[in-house]
Structure 1
Amino acid sequence: MRIALILLLLLSTMLAHATVYKWVDENGKVHFSDEPIKDAEVVEFKENTQNNIKLPEVTALPSAPSEPAVKSIDYKMSIVSPTEEETIRNNEGDITIITDISPQLASTHQLGLFMDGKQMGSKQTIGLFKLTNIDRGEHSFVVKVFDKSGKKIASTPTRKIFLHRTNLNQPKFIRPQPRTN
């Protein structure tokens, strides 16, 4: 059974080999087809008329950096305001940190503000940070420069400030009321 199936497949592939016909129309244009047409002649192909395409060898180009390497920038940074050990009195707990950076921040670099060792908010490109609802007490601030991969490039010296804020959790003073009989 298998042998018969294999022979049948081999015969069908031989018959599937299409014959090519060639003819010229009344305008002198040459046409080719696999269906016989009136006055068409059979085209005979030689064994060596196969399509052999040889592709040129691929040569690897030297890899170029995808982006120009940013040269190392030596930033000079400082926190301008508030001053060292300044006392800020603000009942809402608002603090504004202003930094001075030279040279100007590169387009691929960002600033991050750290208060008491924790990053406050997201990184930004402007050296002005506005904080709200900060707890009263002593706080230390540092501003750091990061490249696009998150590597720290530079930072300011630590700046210590004090925030005075009215504590709203104190018990209210109750005035004694005179007795009425």
Structure 2
Amino acid sequence: MNRWLLALGLSLAALPALAQVYTYIDAQGNRVFTDQPRPGNAKKIQLSPGNRMPPPPIGDIAAPAPEEAPKPQFHYEMLRLLIPEPDATIRSTAGELIVTATSEPGLKRGHRYRLLLDGQPIGEAGPSPVFALSNIDRGTHHLSVEILDEQGRTVERTANQPFHMQRMSLAQKRRIKPCATTDYGQRPECPLAEKPEEEDVSILPFF
């Protein structure tokens, strides 16, 4: 019986998929399996459908999703800029500005403040919430401050806050100090009493 089952399995494996199978007893008393119909005592064998599934289309194979970096777990209740106030006007000849930020709770160990001017980081991030800026161009600018964790990930960030820088032009400087010779240049309207004395550049004495 076992040999009969083995022969059946080997015969089915050798036949094309979904082919019809017939069986009969030959003249020597052996059971024969074939895919060709045989007149007489050949019987048709009912085959059960296979359990193989067709492969999915190439376009349907989803690529593995890239691993996302873990998000910071710590959360600050508040982070904002104290100085300057929103929409403040700053008047500075050298375009200087002191920026101060605050957070609640205070800065966690390993975290750092970083200032952004017009969306660009200014200097290195550090533990101090005070930033000194200089030579800022005249016009409207935007400030924001963010807190970075140990891996350099942004934990919190404020919205952009506008301010306006007003710098004195060279013509304005000279009108304020018409007699100054350093930086501003002396103007013709400088009072005679305040003009510096002219140096005697003659080489020979006058006889």
Q: Distance in 2 between the 1:168 and 1:124 partners?
A: 36
- State the AA in 1 paired with 2:90: I
The answer to whether structure 1 residue 108 and structure 2 residue 110 are counterparts is yes
Match of 1:120 in 2: 122
Q: 1:115 to 1:104 in 2, by over 3 A?
A: same
TM superposition score normalised by structure 1: 0.53
Match of 1:144 in 2: 146
Match of 1:86 in 2: 88
Select the structure that is richer in strand: 1
Match of 1:23 in 2: none
Structure number with larger C-alpha Rg: 2
Question: 5+ unaligned residues in a row in structure 1: which ranges?
Answer: 1-69, 177-181
Cα offset, 1:160, TM superposition: 0.3
The total of aligned residue pairs comes to 106
Q: Residues 75 and 154 of structure 1 are in contact (CA less than 8 Å); yes or no, is this contact kept in structure 2?
A: no
Question: 5+ unaligned residues in a row in structure 2: which ranges?
Answer: 1-71, 176-186, 190-207
Correspondence list, 1:17-56, <5 A: none
Q: Residues 84 and 99 of structure 2 are in contact (CA less than 8 Å); yes or no, is this contact kept in structure 1?
A: yes
- Comparing both chains, which one has the higher relative contact order based on Cα–Cα distances under 8 Å and sequence gaps of 6 or more? 1
The answer to whether structure 1 residue 95 and structure 2 residue 100 are counterparts is no
Identity of aligned residues (%): 25
* RMSD between superposed Cα atoms in Å: 2.3
Q: 1:169 to 1:108 in 2, by over 3 A?
A: farther
Select the structure that is richer in helix: 2
Q: Which runs of 4+ in 1 moved over 2 A?
A: 167-170, 172-176
Q: Distance in 2 between the 1:147 and 1:169 partners?
A: 47
- State the AA in 1 paired with 2:97: I
Q: Residues 141 and 158 of structure 1 are in contact (CA less than 8 Å); yes or no, is this contact kept in structure 2?
A: yes
TM superposition score normalised by structure 2: 0.47
Match of 1:52 in 2: none
Q: Residues 80 and 100 of structure 1 are in contact (CA less than 8 Å); yes or no, is this contact kept in structure 2?
A: yes
